[in-house]
Amino acid sequence: MMPRSHILVAIVPCNDLDASQAFYTRLGFAEGERKYDEYRILLDGKGGELHLTRAEEGWVVPGRNPFAVYLYTEDVDALAATFGRKAENKPWGMYEFGIADPDEALVRIGWPTRLRKQG
């Protein structure tokens, strides 16, 4: 891992760690070297880090899950295709799409429209 002077990591509670890890693996994350039974540290090799933790009983209710994460990546179209989605330019200046993880937490994937390589 490269040294960083400042980092913010999302910790996402999950009902099923294996299902959630499989989902985030499709987004390019892999389990790091440190392993714990009820906690997963996932890395994307580009500086992104996501922690998954087992939710307390009844804490995460699919359909009423208030948690969300946003993945900033230039690979928006490739990831959209992986999930059978299509990204679009939004009025707030992002090219993005949204999906739900196994516990129905909102996952938005996007990149600033002004930084997109048009081709």
The string of DSSP letters for 14-58 reads ES-HHHHHHHHHHTT-EE-S--BTTEEEEE-SSS-EEEEEEPPTT
Instruction: Delimit the domains of the chain by residue range.
Output: 10-115
pLDDT-derived band of residue 4, with 50, 70 and 90 as boundaries? low
Homologous superfamily (CATH) of 10-115 is 2,3-Dihydroxybiphenyl 1,2-Dioxygenase, domain 1 (3.10.180.10)
Q: How far apart are CA 30 and CA 46, in angstroms?
A: 11
Would you state the pLDDT for residue 47? 87
pLDDT-derived band of residue 117, with 50, 70 and 90 as boundaries? confident
Q: pLDDT tens, 5-47?
A: 788 899 999 999 999 999 999 999 999 888 788 999 999 999 8
Q: How far apart are CA 56 and CA 14, in angstroms?
A: 9
